[in-house]
Amino acid sequence: MLRRANSLISAVKAVTAIAALGAVVSMSACMPSYPKEKLPEAVKEVCRIEYNMDVDVTVTDSTMGIYYPMQGLLDVNLGISEKAWDSISNLILVASRVVLSTDADIKFYCVITQDARLPELQVVIIKYVDDIKRGVYSDISRGESFKRTLFSINLTPQAKKERSIEKVFDKLGIADETRQKVMDEFFRNAPTKLSDIGYWRGKFYLKDITLPEFLAVQIANRMKIDFRSEKDLEEIYRFKSSEGLYVQDRKKGYFLIKFDIEDQRASDEELNVRMFKIRQIMKIASEVVYGYKFRDFDYMAMEDLLMNARVTAREQEVYDFNKKKLPLETSVQAPTGYFQT
């Protein structure tokens, strides 16, 4: 499992570097190479002419989506095959070139690919255009660029939804025409979360991605990377899951970070494992918000699913936690007894 994870990290770093190199060339032009009026058609043409790839493209407000079905996405070990990585590299390269050479106001792009034989499984890659620009000018490192890339392999959300509903239709004996009408009206809607993004049966399920929700998911992703790969964390905890959401509340929203991270050893005089866990999450969140100079949130809530407890920290404490080396005890508010393990 660790070998696969390392291969994944190396591959994503590589495609990010390739994309940045291509973007430098694209940015040298004065006039937009891909006018906003013809953006989807232009992307399709580039993919077809340069890489012989027949893609589907859409633009939802400031988010561009590129979809490509391929043969042999997965290898015999259910990992991404080398050939598939080449195709994914090309898709990222095209997407990066395009968003840096268009007059369209594209802030995010999303690359979706599926195996033509198994479209229920998808790979989704989301990048923030400003991160691409900073990578081009070496304002952020390759490692940081990788951490700022949202990468997921999951079951296609719309496929899961429709298959469940179809089972109900089968039991009720609903006619196909009625099924399609009900599906279109009630179950084929634009996603509300980044985790619901996908492509199914010739249709994009894409939303206009916002920076706050992108950062929330990035915090959760970095938690998964760190808790699974850093030795001092891996020996103490068993990471199960994490989810990041940005919840809009009045004028400002707040970050909601849900996690299921099991303690594999008890606290002792030298280490309070629960306090150490929350400190790591605070460090990750602080790294993200400070790295983007993002302050448009009231607070962050860390929801421990295993303990059914919520720990909170105000915006100022999250933002300054790493920079000012703030003590955890005065930076967070936790339920009584939460840190007494």
Task: Work out the pLDDT band at 269, boundaries 50, 70, 90.
Answer: confident
Query: pLDDT for 202-218, tens place per residue?
Result: 999 999 999 999 999 99
Nearest to 189 by CA among 175, 176, 200: 200
Can you give the pTM of this predicted structure?
0.90
In degrees and rounded to multiples of 5, residue 13 shows phi and psi of: -60, -40
Dist. CA 288–CA 230, nearest whole Å: 18
Q: Please answer whether residues 66 and 91 qualify as being in contact, where contact means their C-beta atoms are separated by less than 8 angstroms.
A: yes
CA of 84: how far to CAs of 56, 73, 151, in Å? 17, 5, 15
Q: Under a CB-based contact definition with an 8 Å cutoff, are residues 158 and 183 in contact?
A: no
Pair 67, 113: CB distance under 8 Å: yes
pLDDT interval class at 22 (50, 70, 90): low
Q: What pLDDT, on the 0 to 100 scale, is given for residue 138?
A: 87
Structure tokens at 108: 């995010």
Cβ pair 285, 312 in contact under 8 A:
no
CB contact at 8 A, 327 and 313: no
For residue 155, the one-letter residue type is L
The CA–CA distances, whole Å, from 284 to 217, 219, 287, 288 equal 12, 6, 5, 6
Dihedral angle computed from the Cα positions of residues 340, 323, 144 and 80, in that order, rounded to the nearest 10 degrees: 10
Per residue in 147-163, pLDDT (tens digit) is: 999 999 999 999 999 99
pLDDT computed for residue 320 by the predictor: 98
As a whole number of angstroms, the distance between CA 14 and CA 228 comes to: 21
Q: How far is CA 318 from the centre of its chain?
A: 21
Amino acid at 238: R
Above 90 in pLDDT, residue 292? yes
Q: Which two tokens mark 275?
A: 């306090």
CA atoms within 13 A on the CB side of 256: 9
What is the per-residue pLDDT for 86?
92
Contact predicate 326/320, CB 8 Å:
yes
204: three-class secondary structure by DSSP: strand
**Reduced to 3 states, what is the DSSP secondary structure of residue 50?**
helix
Q: Residue 246 burial by CB count (10 A; 0-12/13-18/19+): exposed, middle or buried?
A: buried
Quickly state the pLDDT bin for 4 (edges 50, 70, 90).
very low
Q: Give yes or no for a contact between 155 and 121, defined as CB atoms under 8 angstroms apart.
A: yes
Convert the pLDDT of each residue in 308-319 to its tens digit: 999 999 999 999
Q: What residue type is assigned to position 78 of the chain?
A: L
pLDDT in tens, 103-139: 999 999 999 999 988 899 999 999 999 999 998 888 9
pLDDT greater than 70 at residue 287: yes
